[in-house]
C-alpha cells in the first residue's frame, strides 16, 4: 500500500534527506520545508520505503502538494 506525503503548508524545500529506494522508519525525517523563515522537518508517518520523490531542493510548494510517495 502506498502512502502519500504532502506539504502541510506553503513553503520551499530546503533539504531532501532520503532518496528513492531508501528504507525509512516511522518519524524519520524525510524533507525539510522552510515556511515563515522556519525550517520544518517533515517526518515519515510510518515505516516503509521511499517510492517516489516529487520535488527537488529549492522548489516552492503549495499546501497539500504531493512531496513523497512511500510504500
Partner 1 sequence: MLLGLLETGFPLFYWGNALMIVIGLGFIYLAIAKKMEPLLLVPIGFGMILVNLPLGGMMDYEMTLKAPQAGIVMEVPMHEGDAFEKGGVIYKLDTGEVTAPVFGRVDSLKVSQGQSVEKGQPLASLITMEQTNQAEVPTHPVGLFSRIFKFGVMWQILPPLMFLCLGALTDFGPMLANPKTMLLGAAAQFGVYLAFFLALIVGFSMTEAASIGIIGGAEGPTTIYVTSLLAPHIIGATAVACYSYMALVPIILPPVIRLLTTKEERGIYMKPSLRKVSKLEKILFPLITTIVVILIVPSSAPLIGCFMVGNLFNECGVTERLNKTAQTTFIDIITIFLTLAIGASMPAQIFLQSRTLLILILGVISFASAAAAGVILAKIMNLFLKEKINPMIGAAGVSAVPMSARVVQVMGQKENKQNFLLMHAMGPNVAGAIGAAIAGGVFLGILG
Interface residues with partner 1 (CB under 8 A)? 6, 8-9, 27, 35-38, 40-41, 43, 45, 63-64
CB of 56 to partner 1, least distance (A): 21
Q: Which is nearer to partner 1, 1 or 38 (CB)?
A: 38
Instruction: Output the nine-digit C-alpha cell for 55.
Output: 520535488
Instruction: Measure the CA–CA gap between 60 and 2, rounded to whole angstroms.
Output: 24
CB of 27 to partner 1, least distance (A): 5
What is the sign, positive or negative, of the torsion defined by CA atoms of 15, 30, 32, 13?
Answer: positive
Amino acid at each position: 500500500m502506498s502512502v502519500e506525503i504532502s506539504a502541510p503548508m506553503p513553503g520551499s524545500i530546503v533539504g531532501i534527506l532520503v532518496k528513492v529506494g531508501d528504507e525509512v522508519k516511522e518519524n524519520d525525517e524525510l524533507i525539510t520545508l522552510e515556511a515563515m523563515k522556519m525550517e520544518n522537518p517533515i517526518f515519515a508517518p510510518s515505516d516503509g520505503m521511499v517510492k517516489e520523490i516529487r520535488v527537488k531542493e529549492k522548489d516552492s510548494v503549495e499546501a497539500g502538494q504531493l512531496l513523497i510517495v512511500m510504500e
